[in-house]
Structure 1
Amino acid sequence: MQLANYLFFTTQCEEALAFYARCGLGQVTTLMRHGDLAIPLADETMRGKVMHARFEGPGVLFFASDNHDAEPMRGSAHMLILADRGITARLFARLAEGGRITTPLATQPWGSYYGKLTDRFGVQWMLDCTEGGPG
C-alpha cells in the first residue's frame, strides 16, 4: 500500500505542474486531457485541460487534474522531509514564489529546520529538515 495525494485545480493544473517541475520536485510522467479519450465532458470549457496527471520525482509522487467542480484546497499539506538545510532553503524559496509563507523557515523548538507555505496555486507545503547546523 502507498498513500499519494491527488490535487484538484479548476483550470491551472498544467501551470502548477510546470511550476513544481521548475522547483526541482520532479516531472509529469503521465498526462491525459479532457476530451482526448472519448469520455463525455461534464463541461465543454474543460476541453484540453488536464483530466489526469501523474507527477514523480525522487521521493515524490502525487496526482493532479483540472475539474469544473474543484473546491479550494484546505485541510491538507504536502510534507517534504529533507536531510540537507541548503536544499531545504532553496526549495522553500522556490515554492514560496508568488505564494504566502505561513511559518518562516527556521530551526524550531523540536530541533527541525522547518517552514510552511501556501504556494501561488493554493497548495500548502511543509518542509522539514532534520539535519543540524547551517546549510
Structure 2
Amino acid sequence: MLNIYLTFDGNAKAAFDFYKSVFGGEFSEFATFAEAPADMNVPDSYKNRVMHVSLAIGDSTLMASDHVPGCGPALVKGNDFAISITGKSKDHCDTLFAKLSEGGEVKMPLDETFWGAYFGMWTDQFGINWMINYQLPQD
C-alpha cells in the first residue's frame, strides 16, 4: 500500500485538525516528540511538535510529522513529502529498499525502531523521498 507522508515546520497539528474537519474521522495515531526516547536528544523547544500523526481517508492514510533539526534531512520546500510503503514482511522491505534506493541516497537504513516497526528512509535516483514501514508482530 502506498500513502503520502507530509513534513511540516511546526504546524502539523493545525494542518491535520483542518484535514480532519474536511474529511472526518479520527486520528489513528498521534504522538509528539515529548514521547520520543531520551537518546533522540530532542530540544525542549521542539517537544510539542508532532512526531507522527495518521488520518484514514477512504482506503488511504495521510500521515505527517513536524521537522526537528537533527532528525532527518533538513526541511526544504519540495522535500516536505515522501511516498510511504507499508511492507508485508521484513524480507519484502529489504527487497524494495534495495531496489528503490539503488543509485539514490539512504537517509535511514532499515532497522527495528522504538515504535515496534522495521523502518527505513531514502531518496531515489530521481530525487523522490521514500519510506517503508513494516509493523513487527507483537511477542
What TM-score results when the alignment is normalised by the length of structure 2?
A: 0.46
Greater share of residues in helix: 2
- Higher-Rg structure is 1
**TM-score, scaled relative to structure 1:** 0.47
